[in-house]
Amino acid sequence: MERWKKEYDRIVVPEKGREKMEEAIMRAKESRKREKRIRIIRRLGGAAAVFAILMILPNTSRTAAAAMQQIPVLGDFFRVITIREYQVDEERYQADVKVPEVIPEDTGEVPKETVQQAKETTDAINFDIQKVTDELVEEFKNTMEEYEGGYGDIVVDSAVLTDDEKWFSLELILYQGAGSGYERHRHYTIDKTTGRQAVLSDFFGEDYVNIISEAVKEQMRRRMAEDESLTYWIDYEEVPEWNFESIAEDQDFYVNKDGKVAVCFNEYEVAPGYMGCVEFIIEQ
């Protein structure tokens, strides 16, 4: 056996094989990238199949979108259209950006002043959406121009999370990838009875920061105790400064289908990156 081992070790390794291997790796990475992008879009396609259809159609055909959106739904007050698209499909850079806009509909069922209020609310929301997506696209364009040999992709998409008699919640999904990816969400919730954008103090009163922060900590501890594969930055003695202390005053949240408040954190905010975006349902 030693003799064969010696012969084996004597095998001469040609360096040009290394280059060929690198080429093969690059080819494989390219085709994975393409595959991954499709997967992300599919994953971001919305919580329910209905939303996926609503979201895909507006981008394939404007007329189909219009037709879809005219179907009356109970409590149908807001509709979401894609106002702007930005697509790049190059070897190294890919962008799939669909900027949504929320529009209140005056169906006659809703009092005039509520419609007027809703109009102001959606203007502010649309402005915010526009701003964050513009920043992302701008950054992407700059990278593309500056680093010819780099890689990057961005995806902007949206999903209606709740649309019932009282609540309308929209999720804006922002994905940015270059080597490794970073996904963040922003949520906008409108109270249909008032036409105003919901804020956390509506649900938990003036002391909402403390109430929610404590509830989040308690849930982090409980989840970690129940499932040891989960990690949140809490009671983490190695790096105490990572520990979650308190939510922000303008902490991101939405109202889910059960009418409950879901507080949202982006990747890395309160947990290691592999945990992704995390949510906590806070009982009132």
Partner 1 sequence: MRGVDKETLVHECLVNHYEKYYRIAYSYTFQEQDAMDIVQEGAYRAILKSDSLKNPEYADTWICRIMMNEAVRFLEKYRGRTVTMEEMPEEGREDERADLDLRRALSKLDAQEREIVVLRYFEEEKLTDIAKVMGLKVNTVKSRLYRAVEKLKRYMEPAENYSVLKRTENTGAGR
276 binds partner 1 (CB under 8 A): yes
Q: Which residues contact 7 (CB under 8 A, 6 or more apart)?
A: none
1 binds partner 1 (CB under 8 A): yes
- Cα–Cα distance measured from residue 145 to residue 142, given in angstroms and rounded to the nearest whole number: 5
Please state the closest distance from residue 51 (CB atom) to partner 1, in A: 23
* Residue where the block lists tokens 């990690």: 231
- Cα–Cα distance measured from residue 103 to residue 157, given in angstroms and rounded to the nearest whole number: 17
Alpha-carbon distances, residue 100 vs 75, 127, 170 (angstroms): 20, 11, 10
Q: 234 is written with which tokens?
A: 């809490």
H/E element holding 58? helix 49-60
Closer by beta carbon to partner 1, 3 or else 112 = 3
Q: Which residues contact 210 (CB under 8 A, 6 or more apart)?
A: 246
Binding range to partner 1, per CB under 8 A, among 23-31, 153-161, 204-212, 226-234: 23-31
Binding range to partner 1, per CB under 8 A, among 1-9, 58-66, 96-104, 115-123: 1-9
Alpha-carbon distances, residue 216 vs 222, 256, 279 (angstroms): 10, 17, 9
Binding range to partner 1, per CB under 8 A, among 26-34, 64-72, 217-225, 239-247: 26-34
Closer by beta carbon to partner 1, 45 or else 177 = 177
177 binds partner 1 (CB under 8 A): yes
89 binds partner 1 (CB under 8 A): no
H/E element holding 157? strand 152-163
Q: Which of 66, 88, 238, 267 lies at the binding interface for partner 1 (CB under 8 A)?
A: 267
38 binds partner 1 (CB under 8 A): no
Please state the closest distance from residue 35 (CB atom) to partner 1, in A: 9
Closer by beta carbon to partner 1, 33 or else 84 = 33
Q: Which of 63, 180, 229, 284 lies at the binding interface for partner 1 (CB under 8 A)?
A: 180
- Cα–Cα distance measured from residue 61 to residue 67, given in angstroms and rounded to the nearest whole number: 10
Binding site for partner 1 (CB under 8 A): 1-5, 7-11, 13-14, 16-18, 20-25, 27-29, 31-32, 36, 177, 179-183, 267, 273-274, 276
